[in-house]
Amino acid sequence: MTCRTLLTGATGTLGTALRPRLLEAGHDVLAASRSPPDHGDDDLEWVAMDLADGTGLRDAVADADVVVHAASAPRGDSEAIDVRGTERLLEAAADAGVSNFVYVSIVGIDDVPYSYYEHKLAAERAVEASAVRSTIIRITMFHEFVAELLGTVSRLPVWPLPTGIRLQPIDVGEAADAVVGRATPEPAGRVPDIGGPAVRTVGDLARTYRDARGLRRPIVRLPIPGKTAAGFRAGGATCPDRAVGTVTWDEWLAERFD
Ligand SMILES: NC(=O)c1ccc[n+]([C@@H]2O[C@H](COP(=O)([O-])OP(=O)(O)OC[C@H]3O[C@@H](n4cnc5c(N)ncnc54)[C@H](OP(=O)(O)O)[C@@H]3O)[C@@H](O)[C@H]2O)c1
Q: What is the CATH number of the domain that holds 121?
A: 3.40.50.720
Which atom of ligand 1 sits closest to the CA of residue 82? 45
| Residue 41 in this model has a pLDDT that exceeds 70 | no
In a domain, 153, yes or no: no
Nearest protein Cα to ligand 1, atom 35: 71
Instruction: Return the ligand 1 atom nearest residue 69 CA.
Output: 45
The answer to whether residue 256 is domain-embedded is no
Could you identify the atom of ligand 1 that is nearest to the CA of residue 15? 16
Mark out the alpha helices in the chain (DSSP H runs): 13-24, 57-61, 78, 85-96, 115-129, 143-151, 172-182, 202-212, 227-233, 249-257
pLDDT at 38: 83
Q: Is residue 225 part of a domain?
A: no
Of all atoms in ligand 1, which is nearest to the CA of residue 10?
A: 43
* Residue 71, ligand 1, Cβ within 6 A: yes
Q: What is the DSSP letter of 83?
A: I
Residue 96 inside a domain? The answer is: yes
Give domain status of residue 84, yes or no: yes
Structural domain including 185 reads: 4-139+172-190
Q: Let me know: does 2 contact 18? Beta carbons within 8 Å.
A: no
Percent of all residues in the chain with a pLDDT value above 90, rounded to a whole number: 96
pLDDT at 5 over 90: yes
How many domains in the chain? 1
Helix runs in 6-131, H state only: 13-24, 57-61, 78, 85-96, 115-129
54 inside domain: yes
Q: Is residue 198 part of a domain?
A: no
Cβ of 56 less than 6 Å from ligand 1: no
Q: What average pLDDT does range 146-167 have in this prediction?
A: 97
- How many helices and strands (H and E) does the chain possess? 10, 11
Q: Is the CB of 169 under 6 A from ligand 1?
A: no
* 91: number of Cβ within 10 Å: 18
Q: How many CB atoms lie within 10 A of CB 53?
A: 11
Residue 93 pLDDT level (bands cut at 50, 70, 90): very high
pLDDT value of position 43: 85
Q: How far is the CA of 74 from the centre of ligand 1 (A)?
A: 7
Residue 206 has pLDDT above 80, yes or no: yes
Nearest CA, atom 21, ligand 1: 12
Would you say the CB of residue 16 lies under 6 angstroms from ligand 1?
no
Q: For residue 216, how many C-alpha atoms fall within 13 Å in the half-sphere facing its CB? A: 0
Quick check: CB of 146 below 6 Å from ligand 1? Answer: no
In the predicted model, what is the mean pLDDT of residues 49-64? 97
Q: Quick check: 6 and 66 in contact, CB under 8 A?
A: yes
Nearest-CA residue for ligand 1 atom 15 is 13
Distance CA 46, CA 44 (A): 7
pLDDT at position 40 is 64
Q: Is residue 220 part of a domain?
A: no
Q: Cβ atoms within 10 A of the Cβ of 2, count?
A: 8
